[in-house]
Amino acid sequence: MLLGISADTPAAQKKFQEKEKLPFTLLADAEKKVAGMFGVMKEKNMYGKKVWGIARTTFVIGPDGRIEHIFQKVNPDGHAEEVLVYLKQSSAA
């Protein structure tokens, strides 16, 4: 199962999902509660100012509900392929 989550509102999520034709569910975390629980709220520099924001992170969660792998500082370009390679290699082991 594949889920995406961000701090956007449900309406923004739906618009993005339709625009990008994403074949998976997007979840909204507008209050950033899930982001806080997963420890992805980080201090960032934005135009020379320090702000709190969400660090792009991918978690691979196993069938037992445990985190198997974490991809940090995710760059969207090529990331899907990176995750696919990891999944193929980990299932072959």
36 shares a domain with 64: no
HSE-up (13 A, CA, CB side) for residue 31: 3
Residue type, 1: M
Q: Is the pTM of the predicted complex or chain greater than 0.85?
A: no
Using pLDDT thresholds of 50, 70 and 90, give the confidence band for residue 46. Answer: confident
Start-to-end CA distance of the chain, whole Å, equals 20
64 shares a domain with 36: no
Tens digit of each residue's pLDDT (9 = 90 or more) over 48-84: 999 999 999 999 999 899 999 999 999 999 999 999 9
66 shares a domain with 35: no
In a domain, 51, yes or no: no
Domain count for the chain, please give it. 2
In a domain, 31, yes or no: yes
* Residue closest to 86 by CA, chosen among 49, 47, 53, 60: 60
In a domain, 47, yes or no: no
The parent domain of residue 13 ranges over: 1-41
